[in-house]
Structure 1
Amino acid sequence: MDTRLLTVFDEIYKTRSVSRAGENLGMPQTSVSLALGRLRRQFNDPLFVRTAVGMLPTPQGEALIVPFRQVLELLRKATEQQITFDPAKSHRKFFISMTDISHLEFLPALVNRVNEVAPTVQIEVMRITGETSKQLEAGESDLAIGFMPELEAGFYQQRLFTQGFACVVRKDHPRVNVRVTAAIFRNERHVAITAAGTGHDLVERKLAELKMERQLALTLPTLPGLGNLLANTDLLATVPERVANMLMRIANVKALPPPVSFPSFSIKQHWHERYHHDPANRWLRSVVAELFSE
């Protein structure tokens, strides 16, 4: 039923007059009469009849006023209700989907900031999988962070930063000093990282395009432990620049420009349209953007 009909009914009940109801509602009297006519046809009852003291309700009209007013009150409360989010008082748990590179790059700073401004908020990290898009849509994941071209279509996104690649070896590597030449790149033994979000496919496609082969000694599915591995072997790894910088902070390794101009790629945060205006989701996105956006 058109809720405007309920409003007209309530106003006629209060004023006992079609004309006064129209004045109070800012409607022409003819429109009020038409609305009353629709209600009469729907309930097969006059609902109001003219008397010496005005338009009085029939028994059917009298029976309808309470449920009609209940509906109007529910609608009024619904229109006034607005979701709010106070990070300082919230106990909400946020679910963030991340790649391995995002774990290393974002978590320490993000956890420190959340503990500072939202001490009772919790964060649960989820792995990026083939189900991530469905999880974002269903609200099972609030945000996905990393290099995820498969999430570009159908989701809101915000670029945080763009990065290229670097070659990482141990500081006292016997054959790699201050440059990684094309010959060194071809002759040294490599460790490849296939973890999602590392841009591994970009490296492989560029090498294939150049018909440039490298000697793979090891392939790893994850990033953790890579710094210790490189610091204690003669292996060479081609990784995103920020990963290279992180490895230099935690291990006895150095980062050098690669001999190949690999394409750069963007790290983004992604979220579903359903939660674009959600105050809690907006707060979380703003924290991530403030911390990591270039």
Structure 2
Amino acid sequence: MQAAHIRLLQVFDEIYKTGSVTRAAEHLGLGQPAVSIALARLRAHFNDPLFVRIANVMEPTPLACELQEQVHGALASLEQVFGYRGSFDPTRAERTFTISMTDISQLVLLPSLWAHLRRTSPGIHIDIVPLSEQTPRLLESGEADLALGFVPQLEAGFYQQSLFRQRYVCVASADHPRIRQRLTLRQFEREEHAVVTSSGTGHLILAKEITSQGIRHNIALRVPNYLGIAFVIEQTDMLVTIPERLAEVLEGRGRFKVFPVPFALPDYAVKQHWHERFHHDPGHRWLRGVVSDLLSTARR
């Protein structure tokens, strides 16, 4: 494919996305006359206006709508062939990465990640989106670069790297009136519990094991994330069973007591996942290496 043909596809794609010849020119770094000429060539080639101005917006014709998926796919393929084999200098690069992660990962990873980026890669920016049922689609579409956490639904069809093993611990307020130096199974069953039900954690492992072992779990409060759970536990008599890495973050930041879970419970792997389309991208490889190194350092 000739460079001129690639430019025509880029013009088509930008006008389709922005609905504007002017904004398409700005995004492509071209003059507006050059974009107008390219649009005229496209119209002549397809014998169709492709985009019609309606209320100051360039609306696509039915043929343009049919072409868009093919044009976008062709450009993505070209980017994969040519762009992903390029070099990446994190000290000079200007790029935004989107990471899908749990609030636990935000607490554990983000402070060190941000400090590392500001020290070594000032042009790199990070957008965080929550792990959800939409995460596989976001990785496939390129709207997210990485997914970080315990995500069984990403075990098949995505690349993955184990970062560390995670286990659960029980946390109570330092002022808990009944739990002092140790937590017994009997106490675990008699006390009220708060549970966190967010995706991307080992919550399902915990619930399954408690049920299979016939352990009584008196759940008094369910919350969708971990960010507020520390304040709840610190100021009530409830217990919460949370990943050990989160407990390490909370210790020293409030009045808590941390205990081993008083029954057998398997650990699980926290991983980073990514789609095949980014596997060979130098910038993406750099980001995966940074995440792996930081979490390995934190683990040590």
When normalised by structure 2's length, the TM-score is: 0.69
Paired AA for residue 117 in structure 1: T
Q: Equivalents in 2 of 1:93, 1:242: separation in Å?
A: 27
Q: Equivalents in 2 of 1:213, 1:82: separation in Å?
A: 55
The more displaced of 81-90 and 148-157 is 81-90
Determine if contact 1:165/1:239 at 8 Å carries over to the other structure.
yes
Which residue pairs with 2:67 in the alignment? none
Which residue pairs with 1:87 in the alignment? 90
Which residue pairs with 2:59 in the alignment? none
Which residue pairs with 2:215 in the alignment? 212
Q: Equivalents in 1 of 2:246, 2:291: separation in Å?
A: 18
- CA deviations on 1:32-71 (whole Å, 9 max, x unpaired) are xxxxxxxxxxxxxxxxxxxxxxxxxxxxxxxxxxxxxxxx
Which residue pairs with 2:266 in the alignment? 263
Give the Å deviation of 1:231.
0.9
Give the Å deviation of 1:226.
1.2
The more displaced of 98-107 and 280-289 is 98-107
Which residue pairs with 1:179 in the alignment? 182
Alignment length (residue pairs): 218
Which residue pairs with 1:126 in the alignment? 129
Give SS of 2:251's match. Answer: helix
Which residue pairs with 1:290 in the alignment? 293
- CA deviations on 1:174-222 (whole Å, 9 max, x unpaired) are 1111211011001111111111223111111111111111211111111
Find the structure with the greater CA-based Rg: 1
Which residue of 242, 247, 264 corresponds with 1:244? Answer: 247
What is the aligned-residue identity percentage? 42
Give the Å deviation of 1:235.
0.6
Which residue of 95, 109, 112 corresponds with 2:112? Answer: 109
Which residue pairs with 2:27 in the alignment? none
Determine if contact 1:155/1:273 at 8 Å carries over to the other structure.
yes
Q: Equivalents in 1 of 2:119, 2:151: separation in Å?
A: 29
Which residue pairs with 2:22 in the alignment? none
Q: Does 1:194 align with 2:192?
A: no
Distance change >3 Å, CA 235–CA 80, structure 1 → 2: closer
Alignment of 1:266-277 (within 5 A): 266-277=269-280
Give SS of 1:230's match. Answer: helix
Determine if contact 2:84/2:282 at 8 Å carries over to the other structure.
no
Q: Equivalents in 1 of 2:265, 2:216: separation in Å?
A: 14
Paired AA for residue 228 in structure 1: F
Q: Equivalents in 1 of 2:295, 2:84: separation in Å?
A: 33
Determine if contact 2:99/2:146 at 8 Å carries over to the other structure.
yes
The CA RMSD over aligned residues, in Å, is 1.9
- CA deviations on 1:258-282 (whole Å, 9 max, x unpaired) are 1111110111011111111100100
Q: Equivalents in 1 of 2:152, 2:128: separation in Å?
A: 20
Give the Å deviation of 1:80.
11
Structure 1 unaligned runs (5+)? 1-77
- CA deviations on 1:125-183 (whole Å, 9 max, x unpaired) are 01112221121122111111111011011111111000111000011211111211011
Paired AA for residue 102 in structure 2: T
Paired AA for residue 289 in structure 2: S
Which residue pairs with 2:160 in the alignment? 157
Paired AA for residue 113 in structure 2: L
Paired AA for residue 264 in structure 1: D
Could you list the structure 1 runs, at least 4 aligned residues long, displaced by more than 4 angstroms after superposition. 78-82
Determine if contact 2:151/2:201 at 8 Å carries over to the other structure.
no
When normalised by structure 1's length, the TM-score is: 0.71
Give the Å deviation of 1:79.
8.2
Q: Does 1:281 align with 2:259?
A: no
Structure 2 unaligned runs (5+)? 1-80
Paired AA for residue 294 in structure 2: L
Which residue pairs with 1:22 in the alignment? none
